[in-house]
Amino acid sequence: MEGILTINNVWMMICTALVFFMHMGFALLEIGLTRQKNTINILFKNLFIITVGLLLYCLLGFNLMYPGEFNGYFGFAGFGLDSPLADGSLDLAYSEGYTYWTDFLFQGMFAATAATIVSGAVAERIKLNSFMVFVILYVGIVYPIAGSWKWGGGFLDEMGFYDFAGSTLVHSVGGWAALVAIYLLGARIGKFKDGKIGAFPGHSMPFATAGVLILWLGWFGFNGGSVLSADPELTSLTLVTTCLAAAAGGVASFIFSSILYKNYDITMFLNGILGGLVGITAGADQMSPTDAILIGAIAGVIIVMGVAFVDKLKLDDPVGAVAVHLICGIWGTLAVGIFGNMAGIDQFITQLIGVGAYAAFCIVTSFIIFYILKVTLGLRVSAKEETEGLDIHEHGMDAYPDFGLNQK
């Protein structure tokens, strides 16, 4: 028994490392799709999210998300970590798949991801101080409470709502906050002018591409670790469905966008891959390979339409976070009721209820946080700071000083 636990626990620690590596992927994707003058600012935000996120999850979040017996809506098991002990040492009967410490670290990596989604959407014009306050409140309080409703055994879990690895619990939770943030922030200067949509090309497609490939690699841990053990059948199936959905999402996205726009847009290709990954995440352990391909392909088409729809609403999302994480997160959650082992009208309705519950909670809480920040600290940098770049004004340095470049 202890040998099996060791094998399972090692797999979970490997998956934890892969999910941690996703933060490098997010950072490279964000800086690649934005302008050079804001590179350091984006890197700083991503470092802040993972460092402060882990500390908050240790001190507060883990016991908010997993409070034990509670009313199904809100519970709190106390501050800090207090591992279960047996005869004075770590209780190895905590779980068949991992120890208490591994459980904390794996879940902590997920918590930080929700705020990273918002980082890309608000890039190039949000005040750093305000963003840091948002991260503290959203990762420390909002995300764990939302997570407890399903993964902590709350009311949605009792209802039968299913989200294997976080299409809603991670991606939509971050996506709803991103949507609220870009609504309150407003668009970057020059993005929407004279009825036209301005193009702000990212400064490094190699960085963006490397970021997406790293994220795809990290999803082996994101979904593979969500099996919560090294079960050979489930982990193998999960990794197959994850990869097939990613591939189908990328191919469908670039084909659909090339038909519409008459060019091969690599940013659509990249976001299509991510959309496929987000879409499969809710039911990766439930789907057949064919189901996974269909879910991913539909997500790839959704990405193209979603990016265009967000632009039409005059909402400025520099990296496509709303289309990728929110819209595809909703699609993936509903797909559980359409495809795979749990397909059926009852399950679809349950999934829809879950989507609605998270939408209401995340929209209200993120709006309160961002609106209070807007009227107190302020959300947006000055026009001069935005035009000249946040790197110089917020950090006093240039990301590439040796090149003598100052891209505006």
* pLDDT value for 404: 53
* pLDDT value for 1: 55
* pLDDT value for 294: 98
Q: How many angstroms separate the CA atoms of 271 and 249, rounded?
A: 8
Is residue 154 within 8 A of residue 148, CB to CB? The reply is yes
Instruction: Give me the DSSP letters along 17-29.
Output: HHHHHHHHHHHHH
269-298 average pLDDT score: 98
Match 């306050």 to its residue by tokens: 133
What are the backbone angles phi and psi of residue 380, rounded to the nearest 5°? -110, 145
Q: Is residue 91 pLDDT above 80, yes or no? A: no
R_g over Cα of the chain: 21
CATH number assigned to the domain with residue range 2-403, chosen from the 4 options 3.30.930.10, 1.20.1560.10, 1.10.3430.10, 3.10.310.10 = 1.10.3430.10
Is residue 7 within 8 A of residue 231, CB to CB? The reply is no
58-87 average pLDDT score: 91
208/112: higher pLDDT: 208
**pLDDT per residue over 186-245, tens digit each?**
999 999 987 788 889 999 999 999 999 999 999 999 999 999 999 999 999 999 999 999
Q: Is residue 92 pLDDT above 90, yes or no? A: no
C-alpha angle 119/121/126, rounded to 5°?
65
- Within 13 Å and on the Cβ side, how many CA atoms surround 369? 24
**pLDDT per residue over 307-341, tens digit each?**
999 999 999 999 999 999 999 999 999 999 999 88
What are the residues whose beta carbons fall under 8 Å from the beta carbon of 246, sequence distance 6 or more?
Answer: 216, 219, 273, 274, 276, 277, 280, 296
* pLDDT value for 4: 86
Low-confidence winner among 197-201, 230-234, 268-272, 371-375 (lowest mean pLDDT): 197-201
Q: Is residue 293 pLDDT above 90, yes or no? A: yes
* pLDDT value for 408: 47
Q: How many angstroms separate the CA atoms of 46 and 30, rounded?
A: 10
Q: Where are the domains of the chain?
A: 2-403
Instruction: Give me the DSSP letters along 181-247.
Output: HHHHH-PPTTSEETTEEPP---S-HHHHHHHHHHHHHHHHHHHHGGGSS--HHHHHHHHHHHHHHHH
Percent of the chain's residues with pLDDT above 70: 97
**pLDDT per residue over 349-366, tens digit each?**
999 999 999 999 999 999
32/94: higher pLDDT: 32
Is residue 34 within 8 A of residue 42, CB to CB? The reply is yes
Percent of the chain's residues with pLDDT above 90: 88
Please give the model's pTM, rounded to 2 decimal places: 0.94
**pLDDT per residue over 143-164, tens digit each?**
999 999 999 999 999 999 999 9
Residue 107 to residues 196, 208, 408, Cα–Cα distance (Å) = 43, 26, 39
* pLDDT value for 29: 97
Is residue 103 within 8 A of residue 225, CB to CB? The reply is no
Match 């490392």 to its residue by tokens: 17
Give the DSSP letter of residue 341: G
Q: Which of 177-216 are b and which e, b meaning 16 or more Cβ less than 10 Å from the residue's Cβ?
A: bbbbbbebbebbeebbeeeeeeeeebbbeebbbbbbebbb
Q: Is residue 289 pLDDT above 90, yes or no? A: yes
58-85 average pLDDT score: 93
**CA distance between the termini of the chain:** 60
404/232: higher pLDDT: 232
Q: Is residue 306 pLDDT above 50, yes or no? A: yes
Residue 408 to residues 38, 201, 202, 390, 391, Cα–Cα distance (Å) = 10, 11, 12, 11, 12
**pLDDT per residue over 121-140, tens digit each?**
999 999 999 999 999 999 99
For residues 74, 77, 80, 81, the Cα torsion angle rounded to the nearest 10 degrees is -120
